[in-house]
Amino acid sequence: MSLSTVNHAAAAAAAAAAAGSGKSFSAAAPAAPSVRLPRRRPPAAAAVSAAAVGADPAADRVSALSQVSGVLGSQWGDEGKGKLVDVLAPRFDIVARCQGGANAGHTIYNSEGKKFALHLVPSGILHEGTLCVVGNGAVIHVPGFFNEIDGLESNGVNCNGRILVSDRAHLLFDLHQAVDGLREAELADSFIGTTKRGIGPCYSSKVTRNGLRVCDLRHMDTFGDKLDVLFKDAASRFEGFEYSKSMLKEEVERYKRFAERLVPFIADTVHVLNESIQQKKKILVEGGQATMLDIDFGTYPFVTSSSPSAGGICTGLGIAPRCIGDLIGVVKAYTTRVGSGPFPTELFGEEGDLLRKSGMEFGTTTGRPRRCGWLDIVALKYCCEINGFSSLNLTKLDVLSGLPEVKLGVSYNQPDGQKLQSFPGDLDTLEQVQVKYEVLPGWQSDISSVRSYSELPLAAQRYVERIEELVGVPVHYIGVGPGRDALIYK
């Protein structure tokens, strides 16, 4: 297949997937007609009628979500966004990633309880009728992307015609990963604690305007010259970076092979998504990382290199702000963080170890143990203000079962006792804050099998409701285990 036929190939692949599911998608090359097939979802009137009689509270809650909705992290990542996306995906036509790369690990389980660890592929992939889009704001490590797809296919997940990659997305090369490691070593004791997946260096190439994009794979005659600039830049910057013309030639030949395989996945996803909005299709945006790792709003410099907050949806997908509706913030019932950086409510010693062990707090992407602490209300409220969340998904409430008491970090005081009005941007200030805790009674019973809010212990209900009171945002979803069904709709 010629690389010049990329949009037609993507449109055909998406249409083929739609034909099998009852949904329609169009990657919309200029000359290709839009494909409009019957949709599987019941009409809106039927959904409203069902909601009116309260036939299925869970379905009613999901059906009420806006045409373009989003699931974003409200802490330092690892909150369980992938599970909620997986649960909501059957009610949406498209699930789209707007930023980040393979540093974002989303763990989900299928209907048989089989575990899948996704990194770049959106978490809607387990649902046959859902189109998955990797937007222009993401960075693509092509070898890793295909390894992920091969792993899904080998486990019975059909990816054919179901994934589109933006032609505007930037390419992440092995050299970016090498630079990531060299940069961390150079920082020594001040290291950021990255996943060393090359995310930061790739975004750096993007911002300094010498990066390569997916669309550059259409022009292999100039691809080598552009890649040569990246190699030379890394070699001049880092003494330990090895570079030779033979390495460049080998990499170019490698990407020629990748280019042919990537053709069916490439599309003008900005056009695809906006045409889908016009056709009244429903889009669910899946954020990677979380607001406290946002390049602008997070604990800089201990942050990621993209915008995991609400603004990243617009810049990372090309969707206008007026089109975005409900945004769901995902937050753990406690707080975790991976890598370096301030963490005001962090627990050390046995308390931290207990949460880590009970919550199985080890990174999906790296396996690194996560730092654990009590739920930080100051940080959560800050994230809610930035993103304008319409509701929250409180995850891992079951992990707190058996504790004699639970705590909420409700305010920050400076060393002189003065209360801070918001989450500070200055790290020196943040590292000196004294957290004021509110102590609530714990609950002793196992809640992992509870599926109704009214069946939760009163102490657990009070914990949830106190969080709502403090942040001013309702909790609509409560996770009590890793499985799809371990979710309470409130």
Residue positions in the annotated binding site for GTP? 77-83, 105-107, 370, 396-398, 479-481
Catalytic site residue 78? yes
* DSSP line for 202-259: HHHHHHTT---BGGGGG-HHHHHHHHHHHHHHHHHH-TT----HHHHHHHHHHHHHHH
Give me the catalytic one of 23, 127, 206, 281: 206
What is the DSSP secondary structure assignment for residue 80, as one 8-state letter? S
CB neighbour class for 371 (10 Å; exposed up to 12, middle 13-18, buried from 19): buried
Give me the catalytic one of 23, 106, 119, 281: 106
Q: Which residues are annotated as a binding site?
A: 77-83, 103-107, 195, 209, 289, 304, 364-370, 396-398, 479-481
The distance from CA 145 to its chain's CA centroid, rounded to whole angstroms, is 16
Q: Which residues are annotated as a binding site for substrate?
A: 364-370
Q: Is omega for the bond preceding 301 within 30 degrees of 0, making it cis?
A: yes
Catalytic site residue 196? no
Provide the 10 A C-beta neighbour count for residue 461.
16
Q: Cα–Cα distance between 261 and 243 in angstroms, integer?
A: 27
- Tell me the HSE value of 281 on the side-chain side, using a 13 A CA sphere: 30
Q: Cα–Cα distance between 25 and 11 in angstroms, integer?
A: 7
Non-local (6+) Cβ contacts of 49 within 8 A are none
Inter-residue contact 397 to 457 (CB < 8 Å): no
Catalytic site residue 476? no
- What's the distance, Cα to Cα, between the start and end of the chain in Å? 50
Q: Which tokens sit at 111?
A: 């209907």
* DSSP line for 340-375: SS--TTB--HHHHHHHHHHTT-B-TTT-PBPEEESE
Q: Which residues are annotated as a binding site for Mg(2+)?
A: 78, 105
Catalytic positions are 78, 106, 206
